[in-house]
Amino acid sequence: MRVFMVLLALLALPCQGLEVAPKHWWVGMQNPDVQLLLHAPNTAQRQWQLRPYDGVKLMRQHHLDFDNYQFLSVHIGAQARPGTLQFVADDGAQFDYQLKARAHDSKQRQGFSSDDVIYLINPDRFANGNVHNDNHPSMIEKVDRQARDGRRGGDLQGITERLDYLKRMGFTQLWLTPARENNMATGSYHGYAMTNLYAIDPRMGGNEAYFDMVAQAAERGIGVIMDMVPNHIGANHPWVADKPSRDWINNGGEFLANNHRRQTVMDPHSSVYDRTRFNDAWFVPAMPDLNQRVDELSTYLIQHSIWWIEQAGLSGIRVDTNSYSDKAFMARWSQAIMAEYPNFSIVGEEWTTNPGIIAYWQRGKHNQDGFSTGINSMMDFPLQAALVKALNEEPGWHTGWVRVYQSLGNDFMYANADDLLVFADNHDMSRIYTQLGQSVNKTKLAMTLMLTIRGIPQVYYGTEVLLDNTPSDAHGDIRIEFPGGFSGHQADAITGQGLSAEQTQMQGYLRTLLQLRKQHSALRQGRMVHFAPKDNVYLYARIDNEQRIVVILNKGGKQHLALAPYTEILQGAKQAKNLLSGEVLRLNQTLAIGAEQAMILALQ
């Protein structure tokens, strides 16, 4: 063996064209094993050796169906130290591989929680900080600001330059729709058809711009959540034409339309046909569906997620099309991440108004089929739908605020309703101002609810200045340019220049809500007590050991609210301070509240 290694050392040359993933790894991880995926023409014909390195062993090498890929299984023991591993092959090829030291307290990083408020951004539509990266010679699609689904040129520098604004407003977490490479011919701005899972799109500024943005956000107390898509890739991903195995992509690499019957995952009566048509069929033709039942692919997807968390310093992950992936893989994926980062946060997207389906995917839920996941948060689509209906319809036995009341009443289904992500709108639906018929007062009521109830609030960019996609509900129009983020804009949301009186008012109102939530622990962590709505009024309280705060939402005309039904939360309080106006109110027999107004009362 020693003679063999000496000969390899003499013959070894850097392996041209060899791609290795993950790009590097770390010592001291909870899981001591890492799988290296090697990609180069006919690389599977090579036999590799690892030059001696204390604490590190090459345990196995193998390939699947095709010779352009090879897998090396490496064990990194507890005694291993940061440094450079050297791999040499029997044909003289070699490559170096870096083992890095982890950042201080990386394992103990804190995820997002109900103490946070998340700001959701489509990077291409938010702000253009560097016009020189609008187009890139290796990227197919170019900037076209006139096309509905065209690229606008927004980038990570544009976001970084506006972090101070986000801090002033009161946001503490930033969720970007995917910024990774999306080298598709059309519609690439949305980011969900990725073509390189380890690279930030160069039109966004590349990896270093992303790392810089995360670091600068952290300096301002803002965490960053990465949008990940384990279910599928873009049709221009190299795996489509050159894959490691025949079954790497579902349905033999050919498009099969998904039935979108998400309940088949947990339905005890579902047919194999329907379950397969949901799990294995493709979301759309441009997004080939990955087969996570292939163990090597499952490991690849887990490792790439951990790589981004560790390398970038993330505080959370948002999982796109959560239920479309193989559910056994999703359990393995989420549990592997949480084993490395016990205080981390993951939020899953399951777009349904059925709370039972959403509850199935949350960590701690005892499911009939024994399924268990590591995902702590899910997006509360039932509440979002109930809110819009409540504000747009006349009150009745089953309508108006009762819809919100009943939606929150379903919290018994969830393992932890306080960990649900609550939102009035997002990047896949019309903006809340649009959904509410361009009513400023209704929009204020919606945002008051979302920032004062249980859960983790998420606000879509531009909501604070009433961005509107009327009359179109096309995605390209929903994801409108942020005012002041691009050349030619007359209005600027950061400076306030050119905003209408209503936009300025809304921006100030949302800032006030964000600051109140920050200042009052009960609004973030207090238990919730709510009362059946009556006469267009919905009243609830948030209560902790320090505070009792009452929220009153009136979507009707001016009223005098009788206080007798609410004695259990008033507990003899004689007065309350309206945190929105600063006015101190006497709590006698009735309380006056204006038409389409909200009150946030701190009981005294």
* Coil/strand/helix, residue 404: helix
DSSP 435-497: HTTT-HHHHHHHHHHHTTSSSEEEEETTGGGT---TT---HHHHSPPPTTSSTT-S--TTT-T
**Residue position matching structure tokens 């959904």:** 435
Q: Find the helix or strand (DSSP H, E) in which 95 lies.
A: strand 93-100
Q: What is the DSSP letter of 10?
A: H
Task: Select from 311, 288, 309, 301 the least CA-distant residue to 331.
Answer: 301
Find the catalytic residue in 116, 155, 280, 320.
320
Q: What is the dihedral of CA 259, 262, 268, 274, to 10 degrees?
A: 10
Catalytic residue among 349, 411, 419, 464: 349
Name the percent of the chain in helix, strand, coil, to the closest 5.
35, 25, 45
* Six-digit token string for 186: 């059309």
The tokens describing 366, both together, are 């005892």
Rg (CA), the chain: 26
CA 342 – CA 263 distance, rounded (Å): 29
Instruction: Please confirm, yes or no, whether 349 is among the known catalytic residues.
Output: yes
Q: What is the DSSP string of 338-362?
A: HHH-TT-EEEE----S-HHHHHHTS
Based on the residue annotation, tell me whether 473 is a catalytic residue of this protein: no
146 Cβ partners below 8 Å, 6+ apart? none
**Who's near 397: CB < 8 A, 6+ residues apart?**
none
Active centre residues (catalytic): 320, 349
